[in-house]
Structure 1
Amino acid sequence: MKEQQSFKKKVRLVFTMICIIVAVSELTAILGMLGLGSKVMQLVFHSIIFLAVIIASTRGYKVLVEALVDPLIEMDAAVKGLAQGDLSVEVTYEGNNELGTLADSLRQTSKMLKELLDDLTFILGEFGKGNFNVKSKNRNAYIGDFKVLLEGLLAMVKDFSGTMRNIDNAADQVSEGSNDLSMSSQELADGATNQAASIEELLATVTDVTNQVLENTKTTDKAHDNAKLIGEQAKVSQYKMKELTEAMNTINETSSEISNIIVDIEEIASQTNLLSLNAAIEAARAGEAGRGFAVVADQIRKLAEDSAASAVTTKELIDKSLREVHKGNEITEQTADSLNNVIKELDNIVQAVADIRVASDKQALSVKEIEKGFEAISAVVESNSAAAEETSATSQELSAQAAALKGMVERFQLCD
């Protein structure tokens, strides 16, 4: 109310000034045409000002204010209300003049804004319900820049609908891919679990093989030491066989010498027998005097015969011994050759066992490396299994999120 009174005062003052200025201008022109002096003009000027004040305070001024100021105040309030977002303002002034045209324009603007607001409220309300396929109820109300606004809004809705469809399709693809990934991850996890069990069994087998290889290495060491000891003993036996061969050769040589001596003994016995025979003949010729000599000769003959028999027997024994010695030499030589072969084979065996020991050591190292490799593979498989299970869980969670996202998208009714 205070603002209206202030506005009325301002309009009254402006109107008064306009009237005075117009009156002064007219009178100045008239007085100039009449050629009146400045004093007269001053008098007239003051008179005009006085008249203007009188006119401003008269009933005519009130009529003028009612015809001009009140409509302006009403339209000013309406414009301020529109500026503050109040579309319920009303302009009651009507007239066949510029103020009437302005009032009609304000009423038309207010009506159009109400229609636009109602339509936008309806559209946005449908948006809030998830209906993006809504159509404008009063499309013809959108003119000028408002038409651009509606077109931009519809374009935004169309783009949003396209984006939501893409999200829906992406959610389908993510859900499908997540399910496939979950199944694959689960299969991978199951396979990794089975593989881990197989690797554990294989690792246990490799461990047993490692222990067996180490045990074989120890056994090989013992075999190497035993073979080496046997080789040394065989060399000792070879040396003893050599000594035996030399002894047999000595016996052979001694037996040959004895055989020669026996031949000499046989010769001596033969000659002694012949001498005893001659002595017996001479004793017989001597008669009684040669009887004692005959007895001695007979004893010598018997001794010679016994010596000859013993020599023959000894010679037979020596010959037999020589034959046995010869056989012994042959057997000794064969045994020596066999021992030489055995020693060579033992040397080969010792070398082979040494090679086996080296190979066993290398094999033990290789098996150890294989065992470490399987342990590393087992760790990787366990890690892969855990990763696969985690991936499967993540895929299931992602699938659930995709389903939730799809459910959220399906709440919207999208435009074509």
Structure 2
Amino acid sequence: MLSKMSIKQKLILIMSIPLCVVILLAAELGFNSFLYYNNLKSLDNVIILSTKIGALVHETQKERGMTAGYLGSKGSKFQDKLPTQRDLTDNRLSEMKSFLSTFDESKYGKEFNNNLQKSLDMLTNLSNTRSNVTGLNIQTSKAIGYYTNINSSLLNTISSIAKLSTNAKVSQDIIAYLNFLLSKERAGIERAVGTNTFARNNFGEGMKAKFYTLIAAQNAYMDAFLKVSDDSSKVFYKNTVKGEAVEEVKRMRDIALFKDIDSNFGVDPSYWFNTITKKINLLKKVENYLAEHLIKTINKEIENAIYEIILFGILCAIGVALTLILARTIAFTILLDVDQVKKGLDDFFAFINYEKDDINLEVVNSNDELGKMSRLINENINKTKANIQADRNLISNTIEVANKINKGHLDTRITSDSNNPALSELKNIINEMLHTLNENIENIMKVLNSYSKLDFKPKLEGNNLEGAIKKLEDDVNILRNVITETLIENKRSGLILSQNANTLTKNMDEIANAANNQAASLEETAAALEEITANIKSNTETTVKMAEYGDKVKHSVLTGQKLANNTAKSMEDINAQTTAINEAITVIDQIAFQTNILSLNAAVEAATAGEAGKGFAVVAGEVRNLANRSAEAAKEIKDLVENAQLKTNDGKKIASDMINGYDELNQNISSTIDLIENVTTASKEQSAGMVQINDAVTNLDKITQENAQNASQADTIAQKTLEISNMIIDHADAKDFDGKDEIKIRKSTTDLSYNGNEKRSIEKVMKKDYKQTNQRQKPVKAEKEPTKVYNSKEDNDEWESF
């Protein structure tokens, strides 16, 4: 392409290269500045999103702490504050979702979008978790873990923002902001763990170690923040995070962790929660400051990016203009000198072509390369002019001979002479060359004619030639040897391929039968597993019903225990009443006795009165009879009351024994329910395991069926391979070549004990593995040699396994 261009075009091309470089560099700088500007603009929106996320994390941290205290105190603490905090969390969540409705996630990469979507998906379970917390139906560790996972996912979303920035200062501020958020998150987890611990008034399992870990993590992230952040952020942090709340949190930490006690801390969980919340609110002020500082940094960098775009544009325009002016000046000067040289050469070539009778020499008056070249051309034109005419006749004759050779007549020769010794010598060399070439071409044609008749036994004998003809003869002999070796190898390969195809067909039949038997066994196994799975499910349902009946029995026992307590109390009341009745009967007995005495006195007085006292004597007798009867009745009632009192004391003792029996029965029923629950859990796990085993057996059955199909397909391929091998053997037998009837192969497809020349790579691998297996079985330790598969290209006597 360059050879077809003029010097002017080449100069323009040469000058356009630096111009294009300048333009490309300018475009690259401008484009990079534009990308840098767009990156900062996109970060502006995503930083605003990070502040929304930070606000949501702050509220979920407080909700996590209240939830831990609520669960740790069995619902006695934070029952009034927790609903209000949930409303604050919902408000922050609504604000974030409202911002996301106008937020374009496609600009921020797959990692950012995955973290953001994962956080939103986890937030969908917030209402269910809250319901379980309110009903005390969730473990404290699981509830805290849920909120912690949400916050971790949200903070991971913020951490992916750092990877989006291409500005070092912005990345530094984002990393500092992220480390601060991570430290604040650990403080929030510490609030939740501490609230739960102080509400329980003892450390739960693993909580003390977690307390230590959280404090260490806070300090580590805060140290990272202080190392990465700028001086103004450090100063604001140190001036903000201090005071009574910080000291109180440290004091309560020391009580929990460094007083060698695991319970009875003497710390009110509400006081701990409120105090550490004050400290976290101070951290929130620092978080807000860092977010505002980060936005200011991005805005400042955006202004710098705009300034750089304008500056690069102006400098690039100046550079392009200077390059154009300088290129045009240099090209114009060179073209003037080239034009003079061109006119001189035109006159010279016109003379050579008989267009002019004489030559007008053009001289370039300059000391550069073009001036020197112009003077040198003029000198050689004068020398050449004298010899041109003498050489024209020889050239004409040579052209004639060359045209005949071009048409295939190698027996023609050059007859004209020249005064030029070089041309004369050239003439003799060409004639001798034509003689030698013609003789050797005839020999080669004779051998190639034999090859065309499928007879590859003839070959060219050696001679003293060199160069292309010698190489051509060698190539013909090499072709003969290669064809012979190829035909031998083809026939041997066809024989081996035929043998292997028969073996493969037999093996595929055995594999297909084995796969069918295996499929039948797998079907029986699957049926047995389904029956076992059904039995496990039935056992699980039975244990669930037993657990339900156990709960009902436990409830009935509690009711019976309550009734027994009431019976004991009633027996005590009856005993008190019978005692009172006994006392009243004693009084009646005394009254009856006194009445009897009075009746005796009345009878004596009536007797003293004589006839006038007879009626009174009768009345006195009746009164005495009534008194006696009253005394007897009182005695009978007293006996009955004393007997009732004895029975009441027996009933009270029996009721006490019933209460103790109910307590023991309640404990046994609770133990029985726990055992039933353990059996239920084990049955469910067994059921899940059996489902997995069923799936594995199903997949294995599917694979077995596919193996049977593959074996059938492989058998078909083996049949086709046998046909191809027979075709290869027939084609090889149709040609005549050395060693045709000496090709032999072994009778067996694979023979590990075979030591002959015909090796097969698969046998070498099998034999080496067999030796290594025997070595591993011996007591003598030996290093294992790596198994090496030899390619058929490395050994012409080997056949690659089909």
Distance 1:181 1:368, change over 3 A: same
Deviation of 1:163 after TM superposition, in Å, equals 5.4
In the alignment, what sits opposite 1:117? 456
Q: What are the Cα deviations for residues 343-363 of structure 1, in whole angstroms up to 9, with x where unaligned?
A: 322432244135314532552
Query: Which residue in 1 is equivalent to 2:561?
Result: 228
- Is 1:308 the counterpart of 2:638? The answer is no
- Equivalent position SS for 2:672: helix
| Aligned pair partner of 2:443 in 74, 79, 94 | 79
The 2-side partners of 1:73 and 1:259 are apart by 169
Identity %: 11
Determine if contact 2:558/2:666 at 8 Å carries over to the other structure.
no
Partners in 1 of 2:454 and 2:710 — Cα distance? Answer: 46
Query: In the alignment, which residue of structure 2 is the partner of 1:161?
Result: 495
2:596 and 2:623 in contact (8 A); partners too: yes
Q: How does 1:134-173 map to 2 (within 5 A)?
A: 154=488, 157-158=491-492, 161-162=495-496, 164-173=498-507
Deviation at 1:405, TM superposition (A): 3.0
Shift of 1:165: 2.5
Q: Is the 8 A contact 2:564 2:659 kept in 1?
A: yes
- Which residue number corresponds to residue 184 of structure 1? 518
Question: 1:157-184 CA distances to partner (integer Å, 9 max, x unpaired)?
Answer: 4465345434532442243124312431
* CA displacement 1:366-391 (0-9 Å, x = unmatched): 41452243134214412430x12321
Query: Would you tell me which structure has more helix in proportion to its own residues?
Result: 1
Summarize the Cα distance change of 1:259–1:231 in structure 2 as closer, same or farther, 3 Å threshold.
closer
Q: 1:270 and 2:634 equivalent?
A: no
Aligned partners of 2:572, 2:454: CA distance in 1, in Å?
Answer: 134
Kept in 2: contact 1:196–1:382 (CA 8 A): no
**1:247 CA drift (Å):** 2.6
What is the deviation of 1:274? 3.2
Q: For residue 630 of structure 2, what is the amino acid of its counterpart?
A: T
Deviation string, structure 1 residues 114-141 (Cα, Å, up to 9, x no partner): 784389xxxxxxxxxxxxxxxxxxxxxx
Aligned residue among 662, 668, 672 for 1:359? 672
Aligned pair partner of 1:388 in 661, 681, 700:
700
Question: Does the CA-based 8 Å contact 1:224-1:354 persist in structure 2?
Answer: no
Match of 1:213 among 530, 534, 546: 546
SS at match of 1:3: coil
Aligned-residue CA RMSD in angstroms?
4.1
Map 1:338-377 → 2, pairs under 5 A? 338-364=651-677, 366-377=679-690
Distance 2:691 2:437 in 1: 92
CA-CA distance at 1:249 after TM superposition? 3.5
1:162-218 Cα offsets, whole Å, 9 max, x none, are: 4543453244224312431243134314532x2454255335524532541353144
Matches within 5 A, 1:320-339: 320-325=636-641, 329-339=642-652
Q: Which amino acid aligns with 1:359?
A: T
Quick one: higher RCO (CA 8 Å, sep 6+), 1 or 2? 1
Aligned counterparts of 2:456 and 2:510: Cα–Cα separation in 1? 44
Structure 2 length normalisation: TM-score?
0.31
Q: Residue by residue, what CA displacement relative to the aligned partner does 1:94-126 show, whole Å, maximum 9, x if unpaired?
A: xxxxxxxxxxxxxxxxxxx9784389xxxxxxx
| Code of the aligned partner of 1:198 | E
Q: CA deviation at 1:248?
A: 4.1
AA matched with 2:444: K
| Contact 1:241 1:336 (8 Å CA) reproduced | no
Partner letter of residue 259 of structure 1?
A: D
Contact 1:265/1:308 (<8 A) preserved: yes
Residue 271 and residue 153 in structure 1: after superposition, are their counterparts in 2 closer, same or farther (change >3 A)? same
Contact 1:238 1:339 in 2 (8 A): yes
Instruction: State which of 202, 211, 226 in structure 1 corresponds to 2:535.
Output: 202
Name the CA shift for 1:248/1:3 in 2 (closer, same or farther; >3 Å).
same
Work out the CA distance in 2 between the residues paired with 1:2 and 1:320: 167
Distance in 2 (alpha carbons) for counterparts of 1:169 and 1:8: 73
Amino acid at match of 1:81: M
Aligned length: 283
Contact 2:512 2:711 survives alignment (8 Å): yes
Once residues 366 and 228 of structure 1 are traced to their aligned partners in structure 2, the CA distance between those partners, rounded to angstroms, is 28
Output the amino acid matched with 1:406.
Answer: A
- Give, in angstroms, the shift of residue 403 of structure 1: 1.1
Aligned to 1:250: 583
1:278–1:167 distance in 2 versus 1, CA, 3 Å: same
Measure the CA separation in 2 of the matches of 1:264 and 1:166: 136
Distance 2:675 2:578 in 1: 46
Q: Which runs of 5+ in 1 are unaligned?
A: 10-71, 89-112, 120-145, 281-293
Contact 2:543 2:677 in 1 (8 A): yes
Map Cα deviations across residues 57-112 of structure 1 (whole Å, 9 max, x no partner).
Answer: xxxxxxxxxxxxxxx999656413135x1239xxxxxxxxxxxxxxxxxxxxxxxx
* Structure 2 unpaired stretches of 5+: 1-407, 417-435, 459-479, 730-743, 746-802
Instruction: Output the TM-score relative to the length of structure 1.
Output: 0.55
Change (3 A) 1:335 1:364: same
Q: 1:271 to 1:335 in 2, by over 3 A?
A: closer
Equivalent residues of 2:547, 2:677 under 8 A apart: yes
Contact 2:515–2:704 (CA<8 Å) still a contact in 1? yes
Give yes or no for the alignment of 1:3 onto 2:337. Answer: no
Comparing 159-168 with 234-243, greater Cα deviation is found at: 159-168
* Partner Cα separation in structure 1 for residue 512 and residue 453 of structure 2: 51
- For residues 203 and 407 of structure 1, what CA distance do their matches in structure 2 show? 50
Cα gap change, 1:180/1:7 in structure 2, threshold over 3 Å: closer, same or farther?
A: farther
Matched residue SS, 2:651:
helix
Contact 1:265–1:311 (8 Å) recurs in 2: yes
Answer yes or no: is the 8 Å Cα contact 2:523–2:701 preserved in 1.
yes
2:592–2:627: 8 Å Cα contact kept in structure 1? Answer: yes
In the alignment, the residues of structure 2 paired with residue 310 and residue 168 of structure 1 have an alpha-carbon distance, to the nearest angstrom, of 133
Cα distance in 1 for partners of 2:720, 2:488 equals 22
Q: Which amino acid aligns with 2:708?
A: Q
How far residue 234 of structure 1 moved from its aligned partner, in angstroms, is: 1.5
**Match in the other structure for 1:397:** 709
Q: In structure 2, do the counterparts of structure 1 residues 268 and 379 end up closer, same or farther at CA, with 3 Å as the change threshold?
A: same
Report if aligned partners of 2:512, 2:712 keep a CA contact under 8 Å in 1.
no
The residue identity in structure 2 corresponding to 1:318 is: A
| Alpha carbons 1:182, 1:391 under 8 Å: kept | no
Given that residues 206 and 371 in structure 1 are in contact (C-alpha distance below 8 angstroms), is that contact kept between their aligned partners in structure 2? no
Larger Rg: 1
**Partner letter of residue 596 of structure 2?**
E
SS at match of 2:450: coil
Contact 2:565 2:655 in 1 (8 A): no
Counterpart mapping for 1:89-108 below 5 A: none
8 Å CA contact 1:182–1:395 kept in 2: the answer is no
For 1:330 and 1:245, how far apart are their aligned partners in 2?
A: 10
